[in-house]
Structure 1
Amino acid sequence: MAEAAVVEGVSKHFDAGRRVEALIAVDLVVKEAELVVLLGRSGAGKSTLLTLIGGLDRPDAGTIHVGGLKVDALRGGDLDRFRQRTVGWAFQTAGLLPLLTALENVWLPLALLGQADGIAIGEARAVLRAVGLEDRADHRAYELSGGEQHRVALARALVKAPLLLLADEPTAQLDSESAREIAMLIRRAADSGTAVLFATHDRAVAEFADRVLVIEDGRVRESG
């Protein structure tokens, strides 16, 4: 499989009264149709790494390529297009618009990309069907359970068919059954061709991975 994301020698620090080395010379590769789990405790650097790969911040050193684009060199409209089209996000909180229906929450990213309403709504319904929520499409977000809201959020991330899905602790606030459902859906997305980097502290998620990486004190290594 082709390489979807390549991180080479990436370092990042923060100054918060003292210098904190968040990432130190990180190397990693995520291939298309591969689910890579990034396992680490809170504060290990997981979210920082995903933020850099997703183009929301820049590294102090090193390079990041996603889909052949040098992410750390993108600026202005090119960076906006990368964020909108190439990368999908699944977060610890669902982040849905509560007064919109499940369908509207999923359809919205396509509308923002300028896709015709009829096509966008059809694609949104198809993705909701894929996550098992077709029958909840017309329910407002606040009427859904926590697990259902996370499934809608995952559908929203996948509806634009991103090359890379960045999952930042998407199961952290869920009960074990709902967490497993989300992990299985993310596994299915990878099987359908999406590259996935899944950051978590939950070792149970590792069973769904093609590879497991461990991040500790800003350094990334292969598990085992």
Structure 2
Amino acid sequence: MSTILITGANKGLGREAARRLSEAGHDVWIGARDAAAGTEAAEALGGRFVQLDVTDDASVAAAVDTINNSGTGLDVLVNNAGIIGARKPVHEITADELAGTYATNLFGIVRVTRAFLPLLEASDNPVIVNVSSGLGSHGVTSDTDRVEFNVNSLDYCSSKAAVNMLTAQYAKGLTNMKVNAVDPGYTATDFNGHSGPQTITEGTDAIVALATIGPDGPTGTYSDRHGVVPW
């Protein structure tokens, strides 16, 4: 079994992924900005809570110390924390608003990944899963038959497209570990007012699958619960 850290794991997809992985016997760290919410989730799911704000260097460094000092080690990092962004027409989005969305969705992944690399490198089977979105896929958002075609979000969509390239570059550079991106799909969560047609469990299928790959598993891929997603 693996030791797994999931960021933004106190609710939504992160919480459900944590539940499923904990039930499968893995040792799961529940990363959350809010201590009360994170502690509640960890107690409910049988996991371990670690305070972690992906936008804050000191918070991430403290989380590394907490996990390192616990002696559990770390095998899998699931970069799940994300925000929807400004929810404005593209012509109204400012550079500062774009930067605000990127601070969590993109730079947060870089900050957390870089900080936890020493712990991951000590694992026999280090794995990184970056939770992206079909809204970050040029192929998906250009397909008029897909619901994603109708979404026009300058900050969120571009941040997730950047996550995909980030994943590809990490996979090329971190040759001693597996790094993959996943699209949960349009899932009913607080993130979208529970409007998605997929259940929360279906939305975590790809996350759980890629978090539990073995040493012979894929790297540099982008997939959902049905298979390969076009970049």
TM over 0.5: no
The normalised TM-score by structure 2 is 0.32
Larger RCO, structures 1/2 (Cα 8 Å, 6+ apart): 1
Looking at secondary structure, tell me which structure has more helix per residue: 2
Larger Rg: 1
TM-score (norm 1): 0.33
More strand, by proportion: 1
